[in-house]
């Protein structure tokens, strides 16, 4: 099968949550579960709250639901949502 480009929005539980710590833990979870080339962006939401956007390559044949559940168990994470999936070429 092929590879998909995936974007997942990780919402912290509060504006004071340590995004760098969440990023390190999220990257470990993603790579342990077959994700590759992981990078992160910060998206301002409101009132000082920022979301962490994880962007990575993912095997098309694998479901994302299990990964979302694992990311949601990271301390200081309130919610996790897949916001984009695209088939990659090359």
Q: What pTM was estimated for this model as a whole?
A: 0.92
CA–CA gap between residue 28 and residue 48 (Å, rounded): 26
b/e per residue 5-16 (b: at least 16 CB within 10 A) = ebebbbbbeeee
Looking at domain 3-7+21-87, which CATH architecture does it have? 2-Layer Sandwich (3.30)
Q: What is the mean pLDDT of each run of 10 residues along the chain (90 residues)?
A: 93 95 97 96 94 96 94 96 88
Q: Give domain limits for the chain.
A: 3-7+21-87
- Each residue of 79-89: pLDDT tens digit? 999 999 999 87
């Amino acid at each position: 099968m092929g590879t998909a480009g995936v974007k997942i929005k990780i919402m912290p539980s509060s504006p004071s949550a340590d995004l760098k710590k969440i990023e390190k833990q999220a990257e470990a979870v993603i790579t342990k579960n077959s994700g590759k080339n992981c990078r992160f962006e910060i998206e301002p939401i409101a009132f000082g709250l920022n979301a962490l956007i994880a962007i990575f390559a993912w095997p098309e044949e694998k479901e994302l639901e299990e990964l979302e559940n694992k990311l949601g168990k990271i301390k200081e994470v309130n919610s996790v949502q897949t916001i984009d999936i695209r088939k990659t070429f090359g």
